[in-house]
Every structure is written in structure tokens, then in C-alpha cells.
Amino acid sequence: MIELLFLIKLIVAIGFVIGLSVLAENVSPKVAGILSGYPTGSAITLFFFGLEVNPEYAAKSAVYNMIGLTAALTFVYIYYIASKFFNKYNILLSALSAILGYFIVVWLLHHLEVNTYIAILIPIIFSFLYLYLFKNIKEINIKTKAKLSYKTLFVRAFLAALIILVITSVPKFVGPTWAGLFSAFPTTLFPLILIIHLTYSKEHVHTVIKNVPIGMFSLIIYSLTISIVYPLYGIYWGTLLSFGTATTYLLVYKKIRNFINKHRSTIPATSK
């Protein structure tokens, strides 16, 4: 059973991260940034919390996962600032700074008396805050794609698998509060950022980062749904329902965004 779970975690981690990296290359880093906030890493983590411990444990962890998203947003903000500041050893120092910032915020958050309302409100406020702080980042598409060799795919898979497997092992050593906070670690986004940064440039990474808060709302919705439906319907139906609510948000966002863009494009013609 342990070997099977290990294999499932490995396959899912590889699929998510490679899929997002290919999406960044073939569609745009912007789209990859939005979808990186889609419940991938946290979904895997919370699902295995429910499978390996119980649904109630996962549901309680999901509440702390929501509050922990504040640390995840701070992670990408610090990575953005550090990557602008450091010239030598840019990627290493940016990554270490972001990880340190994440753990400091998580340590501060674990002192809070958290209920569902606070867990929803705080990450929403921080999502809007970082949307504002990232508003001046210039969005750049990848023009010359790197060749997807077996070596490249292996490195991407290894980064994803290592981070996912470490974080999903947390509930064996800590309670649901800490486990929920750690489940918000950007397990999919972090290797994606490293892949784009190593393969292309920090400007392409900044494009991904700029759009992370938009996708983060889908993760807030997902974790909220998990906290409600896991005890009621179990991890399988609960996961399906939670993905449904998160996907609905992204579809509604896309429709609203398309409407706004269409409206803007008609303004000059109307004014003439």
C-alpha cells in the first residue's frame, strides 16, 4: 500500500508540474501563473491527508490551508523581490529567501486563533494586496522554447516529486494545524518557478508570479469546500465537488475577463 501511494504521488506530481511548464512555453506564463493557483499541490496533499489519516483530519487541515495561503502568496512576493535584487546566485538566493519568508509567516500564523471566517478573510485580503503590488509587472511571453529532452523532463519531474513527497509526509509528524499550514506550501508553483527561471529568465518568472493571486482564489474556494464536504461525503466525492467549485470560479473569471476585454476594445471605435 505504501509503495502504491508513493507511486501515485510521484505520477501526479510529475504530471502537474510538467503540464504547467509546457503550458507556460506553448500558451503563456500568464496562463500558467493563473492555473498554478488551481488546487493541484494542496489538492494532492489534502487528499492524502484524508486517505492516510481520515477525512475529518483533512477537513480541519483545509481550514488552516486557507490561512496558510497567505504564506504561499508571501513566498512568491519574496521570490519576486529577491530575484530583482540579487545578481549573483540569483535563483538559489531567491529560492532560499522565499522559503525562509514562507516559514516565518507560517510560524506567525500558527499562533492565531483561527475559525472559518478568519481563514477565508485573511487570504482574500492578501490576494488583493499582492494583485496591487504586482500590477506594474510587465507580462512577457516565451518566444524561443527550450527543447524538451529526456534530461529536461527528468529534472522537472524530480523537482516536483521531491517537493510534493516531502510536504505530503508532514501529517505523520505534526497535528492538523501545522499540517494544514504546510499543505499551503506552493508545491506545484515552486518547481514551476524554478523550471522557468532555470530555463528562461527572471522576467518570465515575474509574469507567472503576477498572475498567481488571481488563481489563488480558486484554491481558497477549493479548501473551503473541502472543509465542508469531506466529513459529509468522504474524500472521493468531496474532492470531485471541491474541484467543481474551484473550476467554476476559473470559468466565471475567464468569462468576466473576456467581457471586460471585449468592452475595452469597442471603446475607441465607439468614440470615433
Would residue 157 be called left, alpha or beta, if left means φ above 0 and alpha means ψ between -120 and 50 degrees? Answer: alpha
Rounded to 5 degrees, what angle do the CA atoms 231, 235, 237 make? 95
Give pLDDT, residue 272: 43
142: helix, coil or strand?
coil
Distance CA 17, CA 190 (A): 9
- Closest-CA residue to 213 (of 141, 133, 106): 133
Distance CA 2, CA 145 (A): 38
67, 102 contact by CB (below 8 A): no
For residue 266, the Cα-to-chain-centroid distance in whole angstroms is 34
Per the confidence metrics, is the pTM higher than 0.85?
no
Q: What is the pLDDT along the chain (272 residues), one digit of tens a residue?
A: 555 666 776 677 678 778 888 888 888 888 888 888 788 767 877 888 888 889 998 998 888 888 888 999 999 999 999 998 887 778 889 999 998 999 899 888 888 887 888 889 999 999 999 999 999 998 888 877 766 666 767 776 777 777 666 766 665 666 666 766 776 788 778 888 888 888 888 899 999 999 999 989 999 999 999 999 999 999 999 999 999 999 999 999 888 888 887 777 666 555 44
Would residue 195 be called left, alpha or beta, if left means φ above 0 and alpha means ψ between -120 and 50 degrees? Answer: alpha
Q: Which helix (H) or strand (E) element contains residue 82?
A: helix 55-85
183 CB neighbour count, 10 Å cutoff: 30
| DSSP classification of residue 138 | P
Distance CA 106, CA 93 (A): 20
* Phi, psi of 140, deg, nearest 5: -125, 130
Give pLDDT, residue 184: 77
Would residue 246 be called left, alpha or beta, if left means φ above 0 and alpha means ψ between -120 and 50 degrees? Answer: alpha
